[in-house]
Amino acid sequence: MRRVITYGTFDTLHFGHIRLLRRARALGDYLVVALSTDEFNALKGKTSKFSWEERKRDLEAIRYVDLVIPENTWEQKREDVVAHDIDIFTMGDDWVGKFDFLSDLCKVMYMPRTPEISSTMIRNKMQDLSTAAE
Ligand code: C2G
């Protein structure tokens, strides 16, 4: 049983996220997603449209996701890899190199980010549409 972990905010879920999750799951047999809490997002300088509970619920609806855990700090990754018996850590390649320090504990793989889609782009478009509709 090869166990994979990935991290993220996964706000305003879109096909870029789904493709990442599908590819991450395909690396093994079980996928853990560490989902950034609202408080951790504030540390990352990110706001999300949806709460942690809503984002967790949406992720759990995805067949590729086996377990969702909270991501509260930058420092928890080593502990998570050990606690969840992880074989492979993976992230989109916008993070390439940033988590190589985990490579003594597990395989570290970065996957191509899906171009031309982001939660920010979607939120901005939604804002434009609602402004235009006023
Ligand atoms: N992603 C992607 N293609 C996109 C958008 C996102 O492949 N068009 C990937 C990112 O590379 C990341 C994952 O989807 O691996 C989640 O993206 P975000 O929710 O933006 O996560 P981020 O804010 O980068 O948080 O400790 C790590 C951080 O929590 C990562």
DSSP string over 56-96: HHHHHTSTT--EEEEE--GGGHHHHHHHTT-SEEEEEGGGT
What's the pLDDT score for residue 115? Answer: 96
Task: Extract the tokens encoding 9.
Answer: 């905010």
pTM to 2 decimal places: 0.96
Task: Extract the tokens encoding 117.
Answer: 């889609």
What's the pLDDT score for residue 6? Answer: 98
What's the pLDDT score for residue 121? Answer: 93
The segments of the chain whose pLDDT lies below 70 read: none
Query: Which residues, judged by CB distance below 6 Å to any ligand atom, belong to the binding site of ligand 1?
Result: 7-10, 16-17, 20, 36, 46, 71, 91-92, 94, 113-114, 117-118
Q: Per residue in 83-120, pLDDT tens?
A: 999 999 999 999 999 999 999 999 999 999 999 999 99
**Chain position carrying tokens 């434009």:** 128
Determine the distance separating the centroid of ligand 1 and the alpha carbon of 126, expressed in angstroms: 20
What's the pLDDT score for residue 125? Answer: 93
Task: Give Dmax (Cα) for the chain.
Answer: 55
